[in-house]
Amino acid sequence: MSKPRYDVVAIGNAIVDVMAPCEDELIEELDMVRGGMTLIDTDRAGELYDAMGPAREISGGSAANTLAGLSALGSQCAFIGQVAQDQLGDVFAHDIRAVGIDFDTAARAGDPPTARCLIFVSPDGQRTMNTYLGATQYLPPEALDLDVIAGGSVLFLEGYLWDPEEPRAAMRKAIDAAKAAGRQVAFTLSDPFVISRHGQDFHELIDQGKIDIIFANHLELAALTDKEDFEEGIAALAPRVPTLVVTRGPEGAVVVRGEERAEVSAEPIEEVVDTTGAGDLFAAGFLHAFVREEPLEKCLRLGAIAAAEIISHYGARPEVDLQALAEKKLG
């Protein structure tokens, strides 16, 4: 097997985040699910945007955020995702390349426009996301560069993108290409609503041995296993997947790999400003250490460090030198 060109290659939504602080009363007034992620259409996107206060536009998308964290830590990465030939598509492409990530997926002509996520941030840092998928849900299998996929030590797949038909087919093709090249496949479950729609698919992928690493939070674990008790959920899923990583917010995270199990507490921070991207950056820290064959506890620690940095400010991209921060925290 040839030496990987990339540490991680990711397939995910190419989205520009539009973020604004708000009071909880506005969440109720607009009939949004506090702390959740809701898919919206063009009309709803216009309604919510009009209701937002002063906002910041930051390139986002779950898997793209993970790669940004990985790149900041020193990993070599490539991203595959669909934007449109429009201003936000140009913003996304510029931003992701500017942080050292290879991105060569051709922009799509015509409608729909590039995806955007309208994020309302409550005073306690909780984020309520409303996603207009636009062009990102039209990533076709033929857009994949199979040499890039085969060149990644880990193929990282974003669960959110499993919902639309075209990218689902593209990700199935990518899994086969990665497996044929002897690479590992990581899958982040993204949200309980994705599991409610496609849980059977995920169980089949697991049982077919096509997923090597699963990233989930405690709610997603419960949704996939039908076990409300955390430890029962771990016991149900861990024997079926080579590596299971589960986060629990302030309670830290757990990883199980075969007979090995490690746990860490959340990193302490002065104030939670915005939880957007916490899970994405946790995956970044974990994978950066994992592909370097570090001990599982160190993988978790680095994930917790990256997640803590991201929730200390607005936006899902690092604002400090993550490499220096990791060296300081880990010694």
**Residues 217-262: tens digit of each pLDDT:** 999 999 999 999 999 999 999 999 999 999 998 899 999 999 999 9
Q: In the numeric block, which tokens belong to residue 4?
A: 């990987």
With cut-offs at 50, 70 and 90, classify the pLDDT of residue 99: very high
In a domain, 124, yes or no: no
Q: In the numeric block, which tokens belong to residue 97?
A: 């390349």
Read off the pLDDT of residues 269-318 as tens digits, 9 standing for 90 and up. Answer: 877 876 778 899 999 999 999 999 999 999 999 999 999 998 887 766 77
In a domain, 51, yes or no: no
Query: What pLDDT was estimated at residue 1?
Result: 66
pTM recorded for the entire structure? 0.89
Q: Is the pLDDT of residue 137 over 90?
A: yes
Q: How far apart (Å, rounded) are the C-alpha atoms in residues 16 and 150? A: 28
Q: How far apart (Å, rounded) are the C-alpha atoms in residues 230 and 224? A: 12
**Among 15-29, 197-211, 312-326, the least confident range:** 312-326
Domain that holds residue 149: 6-14+61-112+136-330
For residues 38 and 119, the answer to whether their CB atoms sit within 8 Å is no
Q: How many domains does one find in the chain?
A: 1
Percent above pLDDT 70 for the chain: 98
In a domain, 49, yes or no: no
In a domain, 126, yes or no: no
In a domain, 26, yes or no: no
In a domain, 314, yes or no: yes
Q: Is the pLDDT of residue 56 over 90?
A: no
In a domain, 280, yes or no: yes
Q: Is the pLDDT of residue 158 over 80?
A: yes
Q: How far apart (Å, rounded) are the C-alpha atoms in residues 257 and 235? A: 12
Q: How far apart (Å, rounded) are the C-alpha atoms in residues 97 and 90? A: 11
CATH of the domain at 106: 3.40.1190.20
